[in-house]
Homo-oligomer: A and B are copies of this chain.
Amino acid sequence: MEKFYIGVDLGGTNIAAGIVNENGEILFRKSVKTNLPQPEYVIEDKICNLCKDLCNENGFELGKDITSIGIGTPGNVNSETGVVGFNVNFGYIDWHLKEKIESKIPNVEVFVENDANSAVIAEVIAGCAKGCEHAVILTLGTGVGAGVIVDGKVLNGYNQSAAEIGHMVISAGGRLCNCGRKGCFERYCSATALISDTREAMLANPQSKLWKVCPNIDRVNAKTVFDANELGDETAKQVIDNYIEYLACGITNVVNIFQPEVVCLGGGVSNQEEGLLRPIQEYLDREDYARHLMKRVTLKIATFRNDAGIIGAAMLGVYNA
């Protein structure tokens, strides 16, 4: 019999939930506004009602047809206890989320996990790294998020805060990061960094076709520079080459450290697909410490894109089964 799982993507703006099958397909979905700030019990009730409505409206009986609710959220999560240590959006400390939801919905098991960890779980269970015992996801978005699977298990470390690969320095003494360090990977390779590099190049090159692609500099996004490159713009090419040089450097570090079977790239920038994969693969062929071995890492674009939050959370039920 086919099994179904609820996944909840708990964000600061929206709480989005879906009913997901074992293949990572969302069959039904629903969301509500988070409307922060709120006391904890209000958010807990919103999650419970969302799950109940989602089931009622689509003919599922919660606690019978569906017995697993996964919740993915940014921040420091103890996935064993289901306690959210700290999440900057909500501001709660030591939020016993698993316990609270389980007490409000009978006969379900609740799993709570950091959203980057959920994303890599989704990829190894039903996505581009299916079946891999060693895999890493890097999401190139506002920052560089990361989730790591080692020997089939999420890398959490001693304090559930491991895998902050975005805060690995790759250029000592370089760009100042929000975290206080200088030269962090994410200061060169997030979508935010790429956008800021693009803007800087536009200001320095008034004749660049970047201005054609995006006449309003405030509207530059992670795609702008790739579009201008398509038009043969030299400035855009330089921005991309520089971006990819750092990205390949950071990814090669990850490969030398973990030697995973697959590295998945997600987040906005990963929409470039081959435009990223090809040059990074060439770099890996030169610099991967295991480049002479038969068994080597494969670089892929993550399967679950905008829905990674819901699907990753749902897959927690499969991962923990």
Contacts and interface: CB of A to CB of B under 8 A. Distances in A.
A261 interface: yes
B157 A260 contact: yes
A17 interface: no
Secondary structure of the A contact surface, majority rule: loop
Interface residues on A, range: 35 or more
Contact of A171 (B161, B172, B179, B256): B172
B290 A167 contact: no
A151 interface: yes
Which are the 3 A-B pairs with shortest beta-carbon distances?
A157-B259, A159-B295, A162-B259
A246 B183 CA distance: 12
A179 to B, nearest CB: 6
A134 B155 CA distance: 10
A153 interface: yes
Q: Which of A163, A172, A246 has the most CB of B within 10 A?
A: A172
Contacts of A161: 259, 289-290, 293
Given A133-B158, A151-B153, A172-B246, A256 B287 contact: no
A259 B165 CA distance: 11
A290 B161 CA distance: 7
A155 B157 CA distance: 13
Contacts of A297: 158
Interface string A162-201: 1111011111111000011100000000000000000000
A76 interface: yes
Interface in A203-233: none
A73 interface: no
Interface in A10-45: none
A168 B133 contact: no
A240 interface: no
Interface in A113-161: 132-134, 150-151, 153, 155-161
Contacts of A294: 159
Contacts of A159: 259, 290, 293-296
A316 to B, nearest CB: 18
Contacts of A160: 259
Contacts of A181: 252, 287
A150 B286 CA distance: 28
